[in-house]
Structure 1
Amino acid sequence: MSLLLKNVHVVDVNSPVHGKQANILIENGKIASLKGRSAKKEIDLKGKFLSCGWFDLSAQFNDPGNEHREDIKSGSAAAQSGGFTDVCMVPSTRPPIESKSDVNYLLRRSGDEVDIHVIAAISEGLEGKNLTEVLDLHDAGAIAFSDGDLPVWNAELLLKALQYTSDIGLPIMQNARDMHISSNTHMHEGRMSTHLGLRGEPSLSEELMIRRDLDILKYSGGSIHFSRISTEKAVGLIKEAKKKGLSVTCDVGIHHLVFTDESVGDFDTNFKSLPPYRTERDRRALIKGVKEGVIEAICSNHRPYDQECKQLEFDLADPGNTSLQTFYSSLLKISKEIPIELLIDRVVNGPRKVLKKELIRIDEGEEAKLTIFDPSQTWVLNDESNRSKSRNSPYWGQEMKGKVLGTINKRSITIE
């Protein structure tokens, strides 16, 4: 079937029609023309925007193990509704993604609307003791390695992992925090945690681990990616490492560009996050890191939990929140600080660069991986609009500005 997207405003720095209004003709899963005149199906998108498909570096769909919170079907639906054509699955499942059959299980369940990419475990059982069969996992289709929401605390294991993966060119993804310093903490350590009487995690937890890992990287070679950094000093350490020529990249969770530890003030457990929201100074440093290119990508950090895990006292609740469907609305909240075309670049090209994947663009002959969005439309995340199985969003029940209208993933077309 042929489809014509008429009068749509293109946001793609690599496209010949970037910043212009175009008529995008799609045929057989490819972009046939940027000046299309007619098609079997035509949609007038005047006032709407089009970019390449968004790519998420870190989401948890809880499959296998906790499918009552989320599964591949519901998670993919939430991702598509949020504008994503590609999503990376972290291996924090039960059991973890640590074998070829585990990787194949997820890849077989990848649907047409959203392409699933598998990040496999670095250590067996995510315990940080024994290295998984990383080469076999790579052959099975894993695109990176991580211990998910746990840090690789074992320095020797990290060294071996970097050496093993240096030849195949895949990054080690590290959730940088010191397990001992961060143990039994519930928010950022600072004035607000003291005021609320909650045990806080100091920024030192993240920064110590980053310093250690950069020293190991310098010795071992390979590539390391720091997932979901949250502090000012983390940005500075990674910036200096890049200047020294180390193969290091990083991303930030979207909510860490929006919220701070002040957001925890009324003990709403939907604001309990991993890593915790830091200070306004940290948030501004993260914003600057995105603008300067120190931070290559912005991820969703989508962590769905059932109400039994969230409707508890703050110190007993699990950290994490859903963020896929509200991702674009969050981007708009910071678009006064970072130009929207740069933000879009950080969710289109940045993740693909981190994973050393070929970049895509809106041009004739290119594969049609596209996201359509409207900055003026308002909507509410509630039981009717929610596509996730979980409802632990800090935006629940609020009117949001900015809505994704649909995605095109090759031959799969989903447009409202």
Structure 2
Amino acid sequence: MKILLKNSKVLDKNSPFHQQDVDVLIEDGEIKEIAKKISKQADKVFDNCLLLPGLCDLNAHFTEPGTEHRETLFSGTRSAAFSGFTDVCVLPNTEPVIESKSDVGFIKNGSANGVRLHPIGAISEGCKGENLTEILDLENAGAVAFSDGLNPIYNTELLLKALQYVQKFDGLIINHPKDIHLSQFAQMHEGKVSTILGMNGEPSISEVISIKRDLDILSYAGGRLHFSQISTAEGVELIRKAKKDGLEVTCDVAIHQLLFTDANLTDYDTNYKVDPPFRSEKDRKALIKGVQTGVVDAIVSAHNPQDPESKDLEFDLSSAGICSLPTFISNLLQLSSSIDLEILIDKVSNSPRNILKLDTVVIDQGNKAQMAIVSTDTEWVFNSSVNPSRSINSPQYNQSLKGKCLAVINGEELIINP
């Protein structure tokens, strides 16, 4: 198949055509030619688009096996392609947990819709924080990192052993930093808004003391540690100092943490209930500054689909999570009013791959075509007619959004979005 991309702007800092308006010819999955003007016939033509390297997500929950009514690997990859992703890391919190070679193989074999799936192996059996899994077997089977996913690693001895163990193959440990006791009954961020609403809040120190503890263990044990979904100004500062001190630490932030705060919860809309909770405007601004200055290494979808039985409840009984993949590219473009778009694209393409030690994707002649074709001006409504996910737990459902991924190309696969 021949695909011609005309009058399109390349946004890929590793490409010699970065920031240039060019025509791109792709044939049988390979970038054959990039020039100012290409006058050749093609099977499919896209015009006046933004060309991005295929995006890479470090944090998505696809819930298969176990709760396929929320999401399957197929609907999950379709949702990822809908926002321009070609690589997605899948959390281990499935039923059963991703803790064996066959579990890893099942996730990898679920790659579809132009999206390659990368299993994150569980650190502890059943993600319960007690006994280490067979980490070496999981790594040999293809696990790209090790984490208990949605569950924080509360067991200090387990974290210490895991950090020491993965050094045998330069592996990566990922932790969701929060104190299980301080967050046990929390429904939102602890602050003025939680007091007004009369809801139990999770204080910022829940995250802060967890990050402090983990950094001390990292300093003692060595290894590579990644903090997933940081949410506090104090957390950003702690990681900044740790990097300055030479620790091998990285972190990411969920895209919705850059858009919303605890003030959005005043209507008790359960679609704004997430973990970690939306925090104050001060925290949101600190996270944005962390992205701008390089303290925050990646932006993730933190896609966590829920069924109506888990969301259409009183706020304190509902489950945390946002169906965030379908709206990701629109939200990323929205953030470009606060953060340079070139920085944003790096945080969802090159930087996540560097953290995982995956091959860099470069838009250049002779390379495999792996890219997202984006229209920055297209307006669309996120509703049932276009939603690729099996879930609708998003505060942006039935809302009009601007910016859309028209298609993804991954080798010989062309996935055109509705």
Structure 1 residue 39 displacement after superposition: 4.1
Deviates more, 1:187-196 or 1:102-111: 102-111
Deviation string 1:364-410 (CA, Å, 9 cap, x unpaired) is 12121100111111111111111100000110111111111110011
1:375 partnered with 2:376: yes
Tell me the equivalent position of 2:19: 19
Tell me the equivalent position of 1:402: 403
Tell me the equivalent position of 1:257: 258
Give yes or no for contact 2:303–2:323 (8 Å, CA) kept in 1.
yes
Look up the SS of the partner of 1:167 in the other structure. helix
Q: How does 1:257-406 map to 2 (within 5 A)?
A: 257-406=258-407
Deviation string 1:265-308 (CA, Å, 9 cap, x unpaired) is 10000000011001000000000000011111000000000000
CA distance in 1, matches of 2:287, 2:68: 33
Deviates more, 1:233-242 or 1:327-336: 327-336
Give yes or no for contact 2:3–2:42 (8 Å, CA) kept in 1.
yes
Tell me which amino acid in the other structure corresponds to 1:33: E
Percent of aligned pairs with the same amino acid: 51
Give yes or no for contact 1:107–1:116 (8 Å, CA) kept in 2.
yes
CA distance in 2, matches of 1:93, 1:236: 33
CA distance in 2, matches of 1:166, 1:358: 20
Tell me the equivalent position of 1:246: 247
Give yes or no for contact 2:74–2:113 (8 Å, CA) kept in 1.
no
Tell me which amino acid in the other structure corresponds to 2:312: Q
CA distance in 2, matches of 1:151, 1:42: 46
Give yes or no for contact 2:78–2:113 (8 Å, CA) kept in 1.
no
Tell me the equivalent position of 1:55: 56
Tell me which amino acid in the other structure corresponds to 1:30: E
Tell me the equivalent position of 1:169: 170
TM-score (norm 2): 0.98
Structure 1 residue 415 displacement after superposition: 2.6
CA distance in 1, matches of 2:133, 2:275: 25
CA distance in 2, matches of 1:133, 1:274: 28
CA distance in 2, matches of 1:178, 1:44: 49
Tell me the equivalent position of 1:215: 216
Aligned residues: 415
Structure 1 residue 167 displacement after superposition: 2.2
Structure 1 residue 413 displacement after superposition: 0.5
Shift in alpha-carbon separation, 1:112–1:308, aligned structure 2, 3 A: closer
Tell me which amino acid in the other structure corresponds to 1:208: I
Give yes or no for contact 1:23–1:37 (8 Å, CA) kept in 2.
no
Give yes or no for contact 2:81–2:113 (8 Å, CA) kept in 1.
no
Look up the SS of the partner of 1:34 in the other structure. strand
Tell me the equivalent position of 1:75: 76
Give yes or no for contact 2:97–2:127 (8 Å, CA) kept in 1.
yes
CA distance in 2, matches of 1:187, 1:215: 28
CA distance in 2, matches of 1:79, 1:239: 30
CA distance in 2, matches of 1:413, 1:176: 38
Structure 1 residue 83 displacement after superposition: 1.2
RMSD of the TM alignment (CA)?
1.0
Deviation string 1:7-45 (CA, Å, 9 cap, x unpaired) is 111111111111111111112212111124424324141
Give yes or no for contact 1:6–1:42 (8 Å, CA) kept in 2.
no
Give yes or no for contact 1:25–1:39 (8 Å, CA) kept in 2.
no
Tell me the equivalent position of 2:31: 31
Tell me the equivalent position of 2:10: 10
Give yes or no for contact 1:176–1:206 (8 Å, CA) kept in 2.
yes
Structure 1 residue 358 displacement after superposition: 2.2
CA distance in 2, matches of 1:293, 1:400: 28
Give yes or no for contact 1:152–1:174 (8 Å, CA) kept in 2.
yes
Deviation string 1:62-83 (CA, Å, 9 cap, x unpaired) is 0010001101011111111111
Look up the SS of the partner of 1:105 in the other structure. helix
Give yes or no for contact 1:5–1:24 (8 Å, CA) kept in 2.
yes
Look up the SS of the partner of 1:180 in the other structure. coil
Tell me which amino acid in the other structure corresponds to 1:18: H
